[in-house]
Chain A
Amino acid sequence: QVQLVESGGGVVQPGGSLRLACATSGFTFTAFGMHWVRQAPGKGLEWVAFIRYDGHDKFYADSVKGRFTISRDISNDTLFLQMDSLRPEDTAMYFCAKNRDFWTGFSINYWGQGTLVTVSS
């Protein structure tokens, strides 16, 4: 079955960096796009970034553009989110999510359990 396991969260000071990882299994990693979605404490869901199945196209929310970088390692079936110049408003649970398929746009069919990022001095 599909499994998405995030790691790398923690407490970081404003202006700092953090790299999140999402280990995947149970599907052909190179055949599906992947997302990062976040949720600030007590708030709703906010999409962060998407990478196409082949890694050639990447899309970002305006709130993170230029600071976050999504990437994938096909040798280890792992998704990454490099987060630089972190701000207090980046504090959130970060979810890794699998795109359903090419034919349903950016629809998500599986979510990980999330990793918590706290940006605070």
Chain B
Amino acid sequence: DVVMTQSPLSLPVTPGEPASISCRSSQSLLHSSGYNFLDWYLQKPGQSPQVLIYLGSNRASGVPDRFSGSGSGTDFTLKISRVEPDDVGVYYCMQALQTPITFGQGTRLDIK
């Protein structure tokens, strides 16, 4: 199974400041197509998860451009250029390359 490891697990951020979350996989997520099969999701309090980034760096429809994804192979990063209060929640990375599909432990972002 592909093990997904996120850091940090807790991320207090001042509004307007940037934030960064790391996700590492135990195996390369680079597909023969040239794309990395790595997604980022945000689960806001009391809600179901929502997709932010797919294929490592593609913003999903409706996601603000404050959010960006980067990385390749086994190392990936989600960046928020300027955190807003509505960004509070738990962020998960997920490998979409093979079953069993696996998620990172989650990173809880809250506002200082």
Q: Which residues of A contact B92 (CB under 8 A)?
A: 44-45
The answer to the question of B89 belonging to the interface, with a C-beta cut-off of 8 Å to chain A, is: no
A contacts with B: majority SS? mixed
**Which residue of A has the minimal Cβ distance to B29?**
A105
Docked complex Cα distance between A108 and B98 (Å): 13
Q: Contact at B50–A111, with CB atoms within 8 Å?
A: yes
Interface hits, B2-48 → A, CB 8 Å: 31, 33, 35, 37, 39, 41, 43, 48
Do A106 and B99 contact each other (CB < 8 Å), given the known contacts A44-B106, A100-B54? yes
Q: Which residues of B contact A27 (CB under 8 A)?
A: none
The number of inter-chain residue pairs (CB within 8 angstroms) is 67
Docked complex Cα distance between A61 and B101 (Å): 8
Q: Which residues of A contact B90 (CB under 8 A)?
A: 44
Q: Which residues does B use to contact A, with CB under 8 Å?
A: 31, 33, 35, 37, 39, 41, 43, 48-51, 54-55, 60, 90, 92, 94, 96-106
**Chain A to chain B contacts (Cβ below 8 Å), 6 pairs:** A45-B94, A61-B100, A95-B49, A106-B96, A106-B98, A108-B96
